[in-house]
Chains A and B, each alone.
Chain A
Amino acid sequence: MNTEAVINNQVGAAELQLATFYVGELLLGLEIDQVQEINRCLDVTVVPHAPDWVRGVINLRGDVVTVIDLRTVLGLERGTVTKDSRNLIVNVSGELVGLCVDRIADIIAVSRGDVIPPPPNIGAVDERFFSGVFTGKNDIVAVLNLQEALEVEN
């Protein structure tokens, strides 16, 4: 993953667009082209025997999409769905997956050079889930490492 990030840093454009969102108190970011769409937490069908970090499945215009509870993945307490909760639909190795987040924040453009390697932990969350950290004027955005976060073995 790290090598990939390095390559991205070198060859990508100087600017990076991050879709940011809150999971608990944590402000996270995902590269915008990883996000296919954002929708409300639809009617989730609970899947028996699924891992606890899977909320269930939803019908996304005819596709059955697994919804992941990002809080549980990051080792936080499972939250409740509020009117601010959203599903980020991301494409992970060809499969659409929904990420259940607490609130959507802005889309920010940052310079790649400003994204630094993550410290050992961010708000008690393991560093392996992040590919970098961007420190803005008011707050810190942790860039989510999607592959690692959605690793099946987690």
Chain B
Amino acid sequence: MAIEDEELIGEFIVESNEHLADIENQLLAIEEGGANIDVDLVNKIFRGVHSIKGAAGFLGLATIKELAHSLENVLNKVRSGELIPTPDNTNVMLRAGDTLRVLVNDALNSNGVDVSDRIADLSRVLEEDVELATVDPPTAGSTPGDDEVTPELMSANPADPAASVVPTPNPTRASEASPAVSEASNKPPATTSVESSIRVPVGVLDQLMNLAGELVLSRNQLMQAVASHERMGLDAAAADLDQVTSSLQEAIMQTRMQPIGSVFGKFPRIVRDLSSQLGKQCKIEIEGKEVEVDKTIVEAIGDPLTHLIRNSVDHGVESPDERTANKKTPEGTVWLRAFHKAGKVCIEIQDDGAGINPERLKSKALEKGLISTDRAEQMSDREAVRLIFHPGFSTAEKVSDVSGRGVGMDVVRTNIEKLGGHVDIDSEVGVGTNIRVTLPLTLAIIPSMIVKCGGDQFALPQANIAELVRLRPGEVASRIDRVKSAEVLRLRGALLPLVRLDASLDVHSEVLGQSDAPMNIIVVETGQVRYGLIVDGIHDSEEIVVKPLGVHLKGCNCLAGATILGNGRVALILDAAGIASTAGVQLTHEASDDSDAQHEVVAQNNSQALLLFSSDPADRFAVPMGVVARLERVRSDQIDTVGDQELLQYRGMSLPLLAVEDHLRVNPRPKVDCVYVIVFTIGDREVGLIAPHLDDIREISCEIDPVTFQEPGVAGSMVIDERATRLLDLFELAEITHPQWFADAREDNDQGDDAGPGRILLAEDSSFFRRQVAGFFKNEGYDTFEYEDGLEAWKALTEEKLEIDLIVTDIEMPNMDGFQLCQNVRSNPKLQHVPVVALTSLSSDSDVDRGRQVGFDDYQVKMHRENLIRSVRNLLSSTRANSKSNPKRQLANAGS
């Protein structure tokens, strides 16, 4: 193989010398250790030699590769304890190391050098040991730690094709670990660990030296000026100092900055080898080699980039035939570009290959169960292409030699995100794919939001911040609710748990006590939780340098470190996840006791959970939550119109849609891209109501006015947030347009009701609901007796000897609640056969449990006419069928 790239060779020499620098001392230390093998140390040498071997093979330096390989074999034996270091074999290894160094330093001519002596020596050591081993069993086995080392070795030089052909050293006797060796390996390494080093151009060092000199001069000036109280001199000295400090800072930063080209350098070779291996024609064009980034980034970005480039060549670029057929040049191109953008480094990997077919990705994801059918339908092409980063997703149809083995794109993404970066993908079928990696310039500096709490300033990393919410003093009461002791924020229809920073940090807040102050809430997202963090104030965002906290402060889980602000004060960095777990008692408490808590809210206010939506600023509507089966977000173009009926193609069937503007006096629906569909059921039928804009889900306890808006389909109205809101009766609304849906049910009813209409007792304290529910029953032809609370109903039953077939009762009522009423009924011999249906505004498991105990036959949601009527009908007919003796108890969870 011809040697072409001088630059690469130069790099190889420098790198290999680094690996070899300590080899003498390390080998000697191993020798000294004798049978107590320091596995870490051996591994270190092993890795160094292995890297040299890999790189040499890659560059066509056969001699170096061969020698390194032999040395590696011996080291492997040492590591596994099969070969005990003796002065003899250590000498052989040392000599091999020396020769290796000589060869490396004259790498270009190394292929002509005869190293057969050294190799023979090494093989002798290798074989000698085999004989020895048969005679004298080794006193030491390998440590179990060996197994973990193997993958590390494989990744030591992942870019290197040569590495993949080398058989992995196989720890043969991992199970025979002797205690002596494990003990030895637990001891601190024999040599002090070498601190990682960095190559700095001499020019930069000279500049630093110069600046240090100037700094001394400036100090002298300053001291003089201070001593002589000279204002002029002081100004001049301060100005000097300012300048020198800035330059010094820049120069020092520069020592850490390395051109990204050092990573890019190996890619042309990879692309060429890979394309010939795959029978493709492919070239790479590199731009922006000179772009400089922090050394930590340079070190970490190599593997992910290699993977992305390999992917582009393997999966992106098509075979020459295919390309010609698609009227492309036979030779594909991969572009690799680096550039600075908005204080970050962007790296683009673009190819002019086949692109990624979003449909194929979707079906693959479906097949693997990564997404649901609905989700797949809604996904835009761009989103679908991003599926490639989803864990457990490998696009390689067949696992080729090149990619699709081990690391997937999700690993690439994880690695890049670990660096504080971001990766995105764009692809067009037939045109090509473009992957964009965005990275911070340095890892030591993170953008953060400075917040205030209890007079102190804290930094919260931007990466954790989803959004900022500021509540005006007037809004606080309406937007923040208490569920038991925990506070929650209503944010676009969802409840967000709140955490008060002052409380979780045990500091005293200055602002939060004042009711007229606005409330600042940071919506924080960590991997696991999302919550709102209430702070006293929000300052600027600032780029902060992270400093660790001392050992005495390790117990502070809410803090991730400290930083020094512009004013010289220390600000602590908040750990969003830590705060969540500290406040977690409340968070989990809320989650587990949610139903209970909601029950309590209901109990206190006798309120009703309503879904609020609007079609126009002037028109707001409410639907009881209990009626809603689920909410769907759909694109407007998914809605078809057949005749006058709007239909949503949905889960393989079509869902008939209702729209408020078709039936009620409202302004026309605005043209929007996406609408929500409130799905509810009528009998077995699912029906959707178009809700252009969802506002909120609220517990509403105010009186409902049944008079003002009297329209078919409107049950009543109320004022919420100073807006008139119409409460919809979805079933009435549906019946206006589709009477046939209800006709079938009626017929059933008529047939079943041969014993005359049923007599229903209704106990409900809210006059609105009483009217509503009684209206449902009367509509169906039942005789209905209405009472305002449980006590009145009970009196009617016992004192007036009212004969009824069924009791329908609200649960929360004054004087006697539904539970008590039911209990009374069940313990009265004359009444105990009467079925009792409970009405709730919101059903919860704890309700149902308690209901089961006291003997409710069924639970129904107040406004769910369909289900309520059906339940009543079933109970009545089964009671009659069983001759009033053995009422069938069917306790169903209402609304479901």
A-to-B contact residues, CB < 8 Å: 43, 45-51, 54, 56-59, 62-66, 68, 95, 97, 150, 152
Quick check: is B557 within 8 A (CB to CB) of the other chain? yes
Question: Which of B552, B564, B569, B571 has most chain A Cβ within 10 Å?
Answer: B552
Q: Pick the interface stretch among B479-487, B542-550, B625-633, B793-801.
A: B542-550
B553 proximity list for chain A (CB < 8 A): 47, 50, 54, 57, 66
Q: Are B559 and A95 in contact (CB under 8 A)?
A: no
**Bound-state Cα–Cα, A54 to B553, Å:** 8
Q: Are A51 and B555 in contact (CB under 8 A)?
A: yes
A66 proximity list for chain B (CB < 8 A): 549-553
Distance in Å: Cβ of B333 to nearest Cβ of chain A: 48
Instruction: Kindly identify which residue among A48, A49, A62, A64 contacts B550, using a CB–CB cutoff of 8 Å.
Output: A64
Quick check: is B131 within 8 A (CB to CB) of the other chain? no
B547 proximity list for chain A (CB < 8 A): 62-64
Q: Are B551 and A152 in contact (CB under 8 A)?
A: yes
Quick check: is B572 within 8 A (CB to CB) of the other chain? yes
A54 proximity list for chain B (CB < 8 A): 552-553
B552 proximity list for chain A (CB < 8 A): 50-51, 54, 66, 68, 97, 150, 152
Quick check: is B674 within 8 A (CB to CB) of the other chain? no
B-to-A contact residues, CB < 8 Å: 456, 505-507, 547-559, 562-564, 568-572
Instruction: Kindly identify which residue among B506, B550, B557, B569 contacts A45, using a CB–CB cutoff of 8 Å.
Output: B569
Question: Which of B456, B505, B553 has most chain A Cβ within 10 Å?
Answer: B553
Nearest residue in B to A98 (C-beta to C-beta)? Answer: B550
CB-based closest 6 A-B pairs: A66-B550, A48-B505, A45-B570, A64-B562, A64-B547, A49-B556
Q: Are A45 and B572 in contact (CB under 8 A)?
A: yes
Distance in Å: Cβ of B569 to nearest Cβ of chain A: 6
**Bound-state Cα–Cα, A59 to B572, Å:** 12
Q: Are A48 and B551 in contact (CB under 8 A)?
A: no
B548 proximity list for chain A (CB < 8 A): 64
Q: Are A64 and B570 in contact (CB under 8 A)?
A: yes
12 A-B residue pairings within 8 Å (CB atoms): A45-B456, A46-B507, A47-B559, A48-B505, A49-B555, A51-B555, A57-B570, A58-B570, A59-B568, A63-B547, A66-B551, A66-B552
**Bound-state Cα–Cα, A143 to B554, Å:** 28
Q: Are B550 and A97 in contact (CB under 8 A)?
A: yes
**Bound-state Cα–Cα, A43 to B505, Å:** 20
**Bound-state Cα–Cα, A47 to B559, Å:** 9
B570 proximity list for chain A (CB < 8 A): 45, 56-59, 64
Nearest residue in B to A92 (C-beta to C-beta)? Answer: B551
**Bound-state Cα–Cα, A95 to B547, Å:** 13
Q: Are B569 and A59 in contact (CB under 8 A)?
A: yes
Distance in Å: Cβ of A72 to nearest Cβ of chain B: 12
**Bound-state Cα–Cα, A42 to B538, Å:** 26
B551 proximity list for chain A (CB < 8 A): 66, 95, 152
Q: Are B549 and A49 in contact (CB under 8 A)?
A: no
Nearest residue in B to A49 (C-beta to C-beta)? Answer: B556
Q: Are A57 and B558 in contact (CB under 8 A)?
A: no
Q: Are B549 and A57 in contact (CB under 8 A)?
A: yes
Q: Are A43 and B556 in contact (CB under 8 A)?
A: no
B556 proximity list for chain A (CB < 8 A): 47-50
Q: Are B549 and A152 in contact (CB under 8 A)?
A: no
**Bound-state Cα–Cα, A42 to B505, Å:** 23
Q: Are A57 and B550 in contact (CB under 8 A)?
A: yes
**Bound-state Cα–Cα, A141 to B312, Å:** 74
**Bound-state Cα–Cα, A46 to B507, Å:** 10
A65 proximity list for chain B (CB < 8 A): 550
A57 proximity list for chain B (CB < 8 A): 549-550, 553, 562, 570, 572
Distance in Å: Cβ of A73 to nearest Cβ of chain B: 10
**Bound-state Cα–Cα, A66 to B564, Å:** 14
Q: Are B549 and A64 in contact (CB under 8 A)?
A: yes
Instruction: Kindly identify which residue among A49, A56, A62, A150 contacts B505, using a CB–CB cutoff of 8 Å.
Output: A49
Distance in Å: Cβ of B305 to nearest Cβ of chain A: 33
Question: Which of A43, A59, A62 has most chain B Cβ within 10 Å?
Answer: A59
A150 proximity list for chain B (CB < 8 A): 552
Known: A47-B556, A48-B507, A49-B555. A62 touches B564 (CB 8 A): yes
